[in-house]
Amino acid sequence: MKDLLRYKNILITIVIVVVFFFVIKGLLERHTATIETLKQKMAELEKGKGLIDRWNLLIGEYDSIKNGFLMKDQASFKKFLEEKTKSFGLNVTYLSPTRKQEDFYSEMSFNIKAIPDSYETVVNFLNALEEKKVAIDSLVMRGSEDKKKSADITVKSFIIEK
């Protein structure tokens, strides 16, 4: 025992060093685990940021397509057609709507019977419909011996239902 008392300071130092070693090892492991967790959360945040950026891009594309292709409602489509027929001098004798409802949109069609001044007037009218990407479903042109012309045109567009 006397021999041990002689080495008392060294033994206490060794015990303190061993205790500190295990404490530091535990702290290092906890710190490493925290860093890994933070790295995973940062990766998730980067992925989320990428998804948000993509979402914003898609919203912009959707708005662009909606403004370019789609009519707001049946009344706006009809008004658009009436303005175009007047501006090109098409004498409309009949304008009849039909609507086909789908899941989240409606397909809106109008049957137009008109008396054009010339075939060129009809062609110019159809070119003007491209402004809103209106589809021409059918076109029948007739001419008679007394040089009167008639046009039966079916056009359609799409309306987003919200």
pLDDT for the residue 161 = 64
Do residues 79 and 29 both lie within one domain? no
Do residues 122 and 93 both lie within one domain? yes
Residue 114 contacts residue 88 (beta carbons within 8 Å): no
Do residues 92 and 37 both lie within one domain? no
Q: Which residue, among 135, 139, 158, has the nearest Cα to 76 in the 3D structure? A: 158
User: Is the pLDDT assigned to residue 2 strictly greater than 80?
Assistant: no
CATH number at residue 128: 3.30.70.60
Q: How large a percentage of the chain has pLDDT more than 90? A: 27
Q: Which residue, among 99, 100, 94, 98, has the nearest Cα to 82 in the 3D structure? A: 94
- Looking at 48, 68, 88, which one is the last position of a domain? 68
Do residues 61 and 78 both lie within one domain? no
Do residues 82 and 60 both lie within one domain? no
Domain that holds residue 148: 74-160
Instruction: Please give the Cα distance from 39 to 45 (Å, whole number).
Output: 10
- Looking at 44, 68, 92, which one is the last position of a domain? 68
User: Is the pLDDT assigned to residue 51 strictly greater than 90?
Assistant: yes
Strand, coil or helix: what is 129?
helix
Q: How large a percentage of the chain has pLDDT more than 70? A: 89
Going from the C-alpha of 7 to that of each of 1, 3, 15, 21, 95, the distances in angstroms are: 10, 7, 12, 21, 111
Do residues 79 and 17 both lie within one domain? no
pLDDT for the residue 152 = 85
Structure tokens at 113: 């019977």
Residue 162: pLDDT band with limits 50, 70, 90:
low
- Looking at 68, 84, 113, which one is the last position of a domain? 68
- Mean pLDDT taken over the chain: 83
Residue 146: pLDDT band with limits 50, 70, 90:
low
Do residues 95 and 138 both lie within one domain? yes
Residue 4: pLDDT band with limits 50, 70, 90:
low
Looking at the 3D structure of the chain, how many domains does it have? 2
pLDDT digits (tens, 9 = 90+) for 59-108: 888 777 666 655 667 777 788 888 888 888 878 887 778 888 777 777 88
